Chains A and B, each alone.
Chain A
């Protein structure tokens, strides 16, 4: 219901009689109030039809829209609605026409073009009207709606901000994690004090400190050696380039250190921060060190190679490197030459030879290039700087665009080969022309491998023949056993070095005596075992020895007889002693028998002693007879102490006569010997008599003769020592020569014969210098086999 204040409708009261005045008044008054209410209402009160035509409208809102009531009544709803919302307006009209009510917001535009929002709540009136009309009530909610909209916008903004913040937080966390997990230790420091403001996990792990600990520390605490001057350097770098990369050492909590590369940067945020990214470069350092070492080693290898090395460009115009050995070998340094070709005329001064080397070298290089193979090494003679010549082998290899040329010095080897060849020739000549027979023998089988002409001559066979034979085939059958122990030893692989005399039987039946020296030509454990037999023909010597030995036996006898002559007094004394016993006891017996009351017990004793003494006499006589007997040596098992005792008996009186005390010191146990008793007695008598003679002029000290027997490495050792005048040092050996004597009545054969007797027993007789007197000693072997 839109009331227009300017229009006065005909009202039924206007036409009512006066009588109706009070009522009328009352009605008018009432109507005035309502009118006043409508006209002053701030809300829009209007009536419009379903087409939107305003039927009535109150003045205030019309003014709000910039229109008068009259103007408004000529307008339609659609005219004031914001053209953008026209569709909404049409929808409203349709809705209210259909449902009878509608509420909502509507954007309208004032005459000045300002948009305002009205909230409406309209109903449709169909009763009492010809055509349906709409009761419209609306009020301006522009301010409210605008506030709401602003509020909404703010909320959306807030939401957005908070989401953004959440995202940022997430990103920050992620970033922090990334930092912590970084392989680099990252530190944020206070630029002035270098105090740690933040560190990542890596820093803690690397340095072994907790984060809290580090945050109370400064860079100086972890970087020994990083001082103010180092810091100044860093600051300079920072000023120049904005960042600095330095290498320094960090120290862990446990005191160990490690090298780091630190990238430093200044970051300006709310304030200035120092950011340090430290990277542990231990591994890198190690790798660098290894690389350096390897390079050094390679250099070292090249420098110390026992062969000369030259690295040249492939065309060989330039030598890039030569090692010290090259200089040492030839005396040339490539620094002297601008071009390798300058070196050639010096190294190969002979043009012909140089040409040959050059051609051959190029050919081989070409050949290697063609076959993609190795360069065939050349052997050339290089003239050194000092003019000497060296025989060199030159292997080369092309590596990339470098030619790696080695020079191996073969000079000494060549010289040695030459010397060896000459030596071989010489030795061959020695072998061929040796006056001693030489046979090379396979030790296990005895097979003759090689024999020289002299050997062939001795055995009476050709070398070809001998190569088919073994050693035993040329040996006299009687001598098969000789040296068998040694041969057995050699057959078992143990080298044996020995010498023996034996006989060879020639094909013509004749016999040659030889002395063989066997020299093993292998060491223990070697599989190839052979020996060298040096064979000397001693047949003539053997024959001479034979006759000499016969003469010696004769001489020995003569000497013995002479010695016995000297001993006559002694022997007489020895015989007289028991004889005295015999005579005296016999006299006693006769007296007893004559007395008529003989003491039979005593008589028996006396006669028993007579018998015993007679036996003594007999044994002495037979000993003397043995010594005087002439005959070939007779080898029997004997105890040397018994022989010494025998001799003591013979010489006892002689010793006493000369005031000599004979002292025996005989070993209780001695190995038995095989020998000739008479000959050994003779030796001992000789030594003892010499000793007694030597003491004849001694008056200032006791005349003592010591005879000693003892075990010895060779068997037994017998010593005879006197306290006489001793031997002149220049006569120690000549005394053993035949016919050497210092005695007026001596024939000078005693020691000579004694020595030959001992040597024929496989022993040795010699004299040893002593302080007072002379010491003669001889050995006798226990395992002596009697072969001489």
Chain B
């Protein structure tokens, strides 16, 4: 791959009070990451410089003002410097309003660059919701914020861990609300978004499992009828549109079967249904992908890890996987395989 063919990824620094900056120094020191993409960090150059001193990773920061100034040299991290962290005022390892405000600004710029086509995709580091809210940005997390910045409504969260891809009909709502959201239009939307994303991940003809809502998938209506009334009809609609969809399957086997390779993705009806399955595999290498945006966005699947902030010990695996997945998705978007 020539230098220009490599995906240009805007990597947001995340919450400066957490481990995000340190994780970035480690991830961008990986040769496989550099081989795959041209990374630019959107963050605060001073915070990134300090992160290098924590992790003792060999490398340096080059502060730039705009994307066009990035040079993508090995060992050097190009940082679009928003100058929004005052290190002497930062309370590391704790909820910090300044860091919350800064994190918002990185995401906003990253999204704008991706929407403008200057960056091929955005890869986000962990943010702290409380800090974000304290700074006056009232979102329940990245997904909602990105949807708003992009001006779209029908988004869905997919978690990718190794061979297991799980997308969610609903995420950040109570269980009672989640049950009410399992209706055919939404299920069909998530199925379409899932198929599209899996294709972008390099699978030409995705086979998708749909979990039921109730135990044993309702067992013929004995333990609930949402499968009969809503989920099965949505699956039929998807099939009639040419999709390869199987279900509703008992939730306790749908994700296992997907993980074992019987399906390319599985659709969960609510947050914990999908998250329980994915997290049992270990969260260190999980990736979070937002479906339905006009841009490609992947993210780490862990929190800000305040406990490890400043210690240099945070694990970069999830970010490395998020970068690799964004790279793959960008390549498949550039060269659609059908």
Asked if A and B are interacting partners, one says no
